[in-house]
Structure 1
Amino acid sequence: MRRLVLRRLAMSVPLLLVVSAVTFIMIAFLPGDAARVVAGKQATAAQVAQVREQLGLDRPLWEQYVTWLGGALHGDLGTSLVNKQSVTEQLVSRLEPTLSLITCATLLAAVVGIAFGILGARGGALGRLVDGLSVLGLAVPTFWLALILVVVFAVRLGLLPPLGYTSFQDSPTGWLLGLVLPALTLAVPATAAIAKQARDAVADAMARPFVRTLRAAGVPERSIILRHALKNAAVPVLTVVGLAFIGALSGAIAIEYVFAFPGLGGTAVEATAAGDLPLIQGVVIFLTVIVIVVNLLVDIAYGYFNPKVRVG
C-alpha cells in the first residue's frame, strides 16, 4: 500500500506543474489588463506602465511563471490585485465552506445511491424504478433545483435558512442546517449516477457462481449482499463516488452563488469578474490539489478492496 501511495504522489507533482503552467499561460491571454485593474480606470498611461513594472508584468511570461512558482513552493501564491490580501490566506479561509458542502453532498449521495442500488439489483419493477429515478436525477438542472428548494423549504415553510454559511466552530447546528439545501441540491445528480452504477455492479456480483454456493450453504441473503456482493461491487462504485466528488467541485460554483456561500466557487466567480489574476491562479491550484487528494483516497480504497491494485 505504501508503494501505491508513493507512486500516486510522484505522479501528482508533474500534474501540478502542468496545470499551473497551462493556467498561467491561459490567464496571461485573458482579455483585460491587470495593471489597469490595479491602477484604476482614471489612471494615465504612465501610471499604468508604472504599475505594470511594479507587478512584474512587463517581464517575459516564463520569467513571471518561474517567480510565481518559487513563491508557490514556499506556500506564497501571490497577492490579490483587488484587496491586496494574501491569496493563500484568502483561499484557506474559503476552504472550509467548500469542503463542507462537497463532502456532505457526496456522503449523502453515496449512502442513498448505494441503498437504492442494492434494492434495484433485485430486478423487476424496483430495478426499473431505480433506472427511471436515475435518469430523472441526472436530467434535473441543479440551478433550477436549488431555487425550488429555497422557495419550498426556506421561503414557504421556513424550516431551513435560505442563504449564508455558519462555521462549525461557531454553531454546529447552524452549520448543519445551512448545509441541508445546498448539499441536497448537489447530491441529487450524484445520487442518480451512484444508484445506477451500484445497481449494475451488485446485480453482476449476485449472478456469479460464488453467490449460488453461499446460498446453497444457507448463508442469509442479506449477508450475501452486504458482506460479499457489495464488496465485489465496491471498485466500480468507488469510481463513481470519486467522480461525483470531483463533479461537485464544478457544481459548487453555481450552488455557492445561489446560496451565498463564501467558498472557493464563489471566489472563482468574483476573481474572474474582477480580473484578479493571482486569485484565479490560486483557486485553480487549490481545486487541483483537492482533485489529487480525492483520487489518492480512491486509489487507496481500490487497494483495500482489490489487492491486485497494490502491486500494479
Structure 2
Amino acid sequence: MTIRRLILRRLRVGLALLLVVSALTFVLVALIPGDPAHSILGNTATEAQYAALREQLGLDRPLWAQYGSWLWDALRGNLGESLIAPQPVASVLNADLSVTLPLAIGAVLVSVIVGVAGGTLAALRGGVVARLIDLAAMIGLALPSFWGALMLGQYFGVQLHWLPATGFTALSTSPVGWLRSLVLPVIAVGIGGVATVAKQTRDSVDDVLRQQYVQALRVEGIPLRRVLLRHVLRNAAVPVLATGGTQFVAALGGTVIVENVFALPGLGSTVVQAATEHNLPIIVGAAVYFCVLVVLANLLVDVLFALVNPKVRIGS
C-alpha cells in the first residue's frame, strides 16, 4: 500500500470517528445534571423566563434534532456559538488551541527525548544503571499528573520563584515569558510518559544489540557510537514511534488536569468550565478538536512508521 492510499484510508477512518465522537458527546452531555438556562439567567429568574431562553437557544427540541442541526452546520465549517458568551465556538477553541497544542507537543518531546536517552542507557549499561532507570520510570508512571503539577508549582514557583506557578504569557507578548510559563506544565504532563518510552526503548535497543549483524559490526572494530546511530537506534525506532503516538494522546488527556492546576487558558480548562455551565456547543466543539488532534497524530505516526519500515506499506 502506498503512503497516499495509507493517508486516505486513515482519513476515512478519522471522519467516521469524528461522527461517532460528536454523537456520543451530545448524548453524554445531555445526561449531565444541569441547565444552561440557569447558568445564564441565574437562580432568580422565573420558570417562564427559563423556558423562553431554552426555546430561543433551541434546547427545547429533541436531542436528535439538535444534533442534526449541529452536524449540518459543522459540515459547512460552523461549530455554533457559545451558550454563555456570544462568541463563535471556533474562535474560542482556536485561542485555547494555541495553549494546549504547544503544551502537548512539548510533553511528548520531553517523554521521547528523556525516555529514549534513559532506555538506551539502560540497555547499554545494564545492572545498577538499568535498575535505577527502571525505578525512576516506575515512580514517574505512578505519580498522578495533578500531584506532580502541584509539587512542581509549589517548589519551583512558590518557594524558589524560578518559574511562574500559575498563569500564561502569550508568545506574541513575550517569547521568553511564554516559554517560562510552559516549562512546569510540560514537565508535569510529560514525566509520566517517560516511563513507557524508556521501557519500550530499552527492550527494542536490547533486542537489536543481540542481533548477529550488530555483534559482527562490533567485532570488526566499528565504534559503538557509530553502530548506535546508524544501525541500532534506526532499527529500534519502529516500536518507539508507535509508543510516541500513544504518548500524544495521553498528553492531551493530561492537559485537561494540568491546565487547571497552572491556570492556563487552554482546551482543558475551557472544557471543565463548559461542563459546569452545561455549555453544549463548547463541549462538543472541544471533543471534535481533541479527536482531530488524535487522528492527525496517529496519521503522522503511521506515515513515519511506513517511511521507517517500508513493509508497512504492503501490509496495511
TM-score range, shorter chain: over 0.9
- Equivalents in 2 of 1:81, 1:28: separation in Å? 15
**8 Å contact kept, 2:97–2:266:** yes
Give the match for residue 184 of structure 2: 181
Question: Can you list the C-alpha shifts for 1:10-61, whole angstroms capped at 9, x where unaligned?
Answer: 1111111011111111112222223443444222222222222222222222
Q: Which of the numbers 39, 42, 47 marks the counterpart of 1:37?
A: 39
- Equivalents in 1 of 2:114, 2:134: separation in Å? 14
Q: Which of the numbers 227, 234, 237 marks the counterpart of 1:231?
A: 234
- Equivalents in 2 of 1:39, 1:72: separation in Å? 27
Aligned residues: 312
**Which consecutive residues of structure 2, in runs of 5 or more, have no partner in the other structure?**
none
The one-letter code matched in structure 2 to 1:82 is: I
Give the match for residue 164 of structure 1: 167
Equivalent positions of 1:268-287 (< 5 A) are 268-287=271-290
Structure 1 residues 139-148 or 283-292, which shifts more?
Answer: 139-148
SS in structure 2 opposite 1:233? helix
- Equivalents in 2 of 1:161, 1:33: separation in Å? 36
* RMSD of equivalent CA atoms: 1.4
**8 Å contact kept, 1:21–1:65:** yes
Q: Does 2:62 correspond to 1:60?
A: yes
SS in structure 2 opposite 1:184? helix
Give the match for residue 75 of structure 1: 77
Give the match for residue 293 of structure 2: 290
After TM superposition, what 4+ stretches of structure 1 lie above 4 angstroms from structure 2?
none
- Equivalents in 1 of 2:136, 2:188: separation in Å? 15
Q: Does 2:250 correspond to 1:243?
A: no
Give the match for residue 112 of structure 1: 114
State the shift of 1:172 in Å. 1.1
- Equivalents in 2 of 1:56, 1:275: separation in Å? 14
Give the match for residue 14 of structure 2: 12
Give the match for residue 269 of structure 2: 266
- Equivalents in 2 of 1:32, 1:143: separation in Å? 26
Give the match for residue 3 of structure 1: 5
Give the match for residue 95 of structure 1: 97
State the shift of 1:295 in Å. 0.6
Give the match for residue 155 of structure 2: 152
Give the match for residue 257 of structure 1: 260
SS in structure 2 opposite 1:41? coil
**Which consecutive residues of structure 1, in runs of 5 or more, have no partner in the other structure?**
none
**8 Å contact kept, 1:37–1:81:** no
- Equivalents in 2 of 1:233, 1:66: separation in Å? 47
State the shift of 1:136 in Å. 1.2
User: TM-score scaled by structure 1?
Assistant: 0.96
The one-letter code matched in structure 2 to 1:254 is: I
Question: Can you list the C-alpha shifts for 1:90-142, whole angstroms capped at 9, x where unaligned?
Answer: 00011011111111111122111101111001222222222111111111222
- Equivalents in 1 of 2:148, 2:28: separation in Å? 33
Question: Can you list the C-alpha shifts for 1:227-274, whole angstroms capped at 9, x where unaligned?
Answer: 211111112111222111111111111111111100000001111111
User: TM-score scaled by structure 2?
Assistant: 0.94
